[in-house]
Structure 1
Amino acid sequence: MTSLRYCSRCVLPSTRPGLSFDDHGNCNCATGKVKASIDWTARESAFRDLVAATSAKGASYDCVIPVSGGKDSTWQTIMCLEYGLKPLCVTWRTPARSPLGQANLDTLIGLGVDHIDFSINPVVERRFMLKTLERLGSPAIPMHLALFAIPLAVARRFGIPLVVWGENSAFEYGGDDALHGPRMTRNWLLKHGVTNGTTAEDWVDDDLTARDLEPYRWPTDVELEEGAVQAVFLGHFFEWDPVRSFEVAKGRGFRALEGKPKTGYYRFADVDDEFIITIHHWLKWYKFGFTRLWDNLSLEIRNGRLSREEAISIIADRGEERPDPEIDRFCSYTGITRDRFFQMIEKFRNPRIWNKDQAGRWTIGDFLITDWNWS
């Protein structure tokens, strides 16, 4: 069994994908220092140049904005409108959309945009989601394939020259330095598209044909170039911070959850989906020994709003937070029992960090919190 190593500044463990540690024991917390050294005025000027060049193409729409109605896509839409772009907003419609998610999406559309709400065949989607959970331990692979594929395909087919995404996760959370720039490429998608490195083509089998999976197919870089489509991260041009983007979105009508967060630390995040994203983030517990809460708290530490000690106290108070209502919804949606669900995910428990003690409880050695309840 391997003991976890934790960042000395935030709370993230060495098991988190894309994380690296410097000689001082700090992980990608260094991103904060890098951001402080960036000339954001020059970056904003570069965005103005991009807007001018895009508008000069004279397309029916200047850009596609992938939106869910969440606070980040609301921020993206507000920024693009303020800089004079005419967007077509495109949504992969989750089969688990929440009432609050629908209300926030309606508010986003009400900012003054045309919008496509793209629904995938529910028979295919249900079958695909269960397959990815069983094979790779994630129900969210179809979601991530679709939410990247559909806006890119719409831009290509409608001749729209620009797709505007939010933050670049390779830069914000850790990843290949070569992927820290403004452009989204197929290589970026393979490494940071949250699909376990798979594409739609990898899931073609006797149950799912290539035609079934067409909505999940990412265009190649060549196809995008032939269609003169450029995909960029707005977070490259403007400093991204989840709290700041929430404040901007809230000022234009976006609503957060009342009461405690659905998952993690923020009441304004992951509010548009009833079960897929919650289970996806909780399964980090089995695979890596941390949850969405740890990610969010580490961002708060990096942005100077929490101390490491405060973050550890919050984690200790919350505990594992197994999302039983969401698990029940997933089981109902896919037609499986809870017993089968837990049988499926148990094989993804990381044997390098988990160990069963004499009482039959699964525990993690040298855990960040010494008096953790391993019930």
Structure 2
Amino acid sequence: MRYCKQCILPDTRPGIFLDDDGICSACHGHRDKETKIDWTSRAKAFETLVAETKTQSTSYDCIVPVSGGKDSWYQVIKAKEHGLSVLAVTWRTPARTEIGQRNLDRMIEKLGVDHIDYTISPDVERRFMKATFEERGTTGLPMHMALFAIPIRLAVQFRIPLILWGENPQLEYGGNELERLSNTLDADWLSKHGCLESTDASYWLGKEGLSETDLHAYRLPASPDFTVRSVFLGAFYKWNSYENTRIAQDHGFVYEQGAERTGTWDFADIDCEFISLHHFLKWYKFGFTRAFDTLSVQIRYGMITRDQAVAEIRRRGLDAPKADIATFCAFQGKSEDWFWAVCEKFRNPDVWVRSEGRWTIPDFLIPDWDWGKPESEMEPS
């Protein structure tokens, strides 16, 4: 593993490339935001898009996919500032938090939007998550498949010409130059970056007894007879998670300071008890944690130094989301031993080596990292 010399992301992170100077593509994306992108022209392009949208709409102008989090508040606020009539659409997680529900309720009330809270059968969600976790080492695949497919299907069905997504992840977290400067979320983007493991709903048919009907909500519309523009708001306005949070708070968004679920941001990933598991599997697959992502963004914002970020990783350690793991296992009716055994199946041999009865990562960012006791020193369970 090699680490970016400006931030702390490793080259194992999907979408990350290090240049000859050891600088990662995510840091180059931040540089693009500051020096390459003409945000005034981008804002004018968005105004043109809004005008075109209004000539095409017959009911709502746009769908904004929302979780109730600070970014989706920001998306709705910006859409309404531009005079767009908004239908907010949510894939309802089977593990919604109390604060997530509260923020959704406040969004509807404070921002004055119509809202669809789309619930898939919890039993279908449970079986689908079990299948993807055991086969691909991801609990988040059904979540991503649903939250992308549902707004697109509803936009086609209701003849709504625009879907307004949030950040462009390839600009914020790493991608090639073409991807960083793109503004479109389309089928090609979903196949490459949608966290779908190169699968679609049909691939999972029959696994854990999943039927055609069970998987209907996860399917993109086939041969749609209506064209929908699907764009990243972060391609038109410079994205800043801290500024988005401030704007959202000014309108009524709330979060509990010092109570982060994953990573180092207490204002993010607070809507669902299972999102932390999606991030946690990165440890086994790629050798880094969610904190590497959020601390690297803080470095680029100039909030902390690289040395401070390294010290924070050392202080936090593995940061396993124990409470969320317990909740997920209860949802699945499985033991926590089952969860850890499945995680172990996806430990990447290109990243990890086994030495003296324990797994380690050669040349890890933290030289004195606590890798745990060797098996010879562990007490029998």
How does the TM-score come out when normalised to structure 1? 0.95
Q: Secondary structure at the match of 1:41?
A: helix
Return the letter of the residue paired with 2:106.
T
Aligned to 2:21: 24
- 1: CA distance between counterparts of 2:99 and 2:31? 36
Equivalent residue pairs, number: 367
- 2: CA distance between counterparts of 1:228 and 1:262? 38
2:199 counterpart of 1:198: yes
Aligned to 2:371: 374
Report if the CA contact (8 A) 1:257-1:271 is conserved: no
Return the letter of the residue paired with 1:89.
A
- Superimposed CA distance per residue, residues 119-166 of structure 1 (whole angstroms, 9 cap, x where no aligned partner): 001111110001100000011100000000001111100010100000
2:193 counterpart of 1:181: no
- Superimposed CA distance per residue, residues 65-94 of structure 1 (whole angstroms, 9 cap, x where no aligned partner): 000000110100000001100000000000
Task: Output aligned runs, 1:164-243, within 5 Å.
Answer: 164-179=164-179, 180-205=181-206, 207-219=209-221, 222-223=223-224, 226-243=225-242
Return the letter of the residue paired with 2:311.
S
Q: Secondary structure at the match of 2:133?
A: helix
Return the letter of the residue paired with 2:61.
D
- 1: CA distance between counterparts of 2:259 and 2:314? 16
Task: Output aligned runs, 1:1-375, within 5 Å.
Answer: 4-28=1-25, 29-36=27-34, 37-110=36-109, 111-179=111-179, 180-205=181-206, 207-219=209-221, 222-223=223-224, 226-274=225-273, 276-358=274-356, 360-375=357-372
Deviation at 1:176, TM superposition (A): 4.4
- 1: CA distance between counterparts of 2:190 and 2:107? 26
- 1: CA distance between counterparts of 2:217 and 2:312? 40
Report if the CA contact (8 A) 2:108-2:114 is conserved: yes
Q: Is there any run of 5+ residues in structure 2 with no aligned partner, and where?
A: 373-381
Aligned to 2:377: none
Deviation at 1:170, TM superposition (A): 2.1
- 2: CA distance between counterparts of 1:133 and 1:259? 30
- 1: CA distance between counterparts of 2:31 and 2:338? 46
Report if the CA contact (8 A) 2:57-2:160 is conserved: no
Deviation at 1:373, TM superposition (A): 1.0
Q: Secondary structure at the match of 1:328?
A: helix
Answer with 303-312 or 52-61: which moved more.
52-61
Report if the CA contact (8 A) 2:57-2:161 is conserved: no
Return the letter of the residue paired with 2:278.
H
- Superimposed CA distance per residue, residues 93-113 of structure 1 (whole angstroms, 9 cap, x where no aligned partner): 000000000111111112110
Q: In percent, how many aligned pairs have the same letter?
A: 49
- 2: CA distance between counterparts of 1:92 and 1:58? 23
- 2: CA distance between counterparts of 1:158 and 1:260? 39
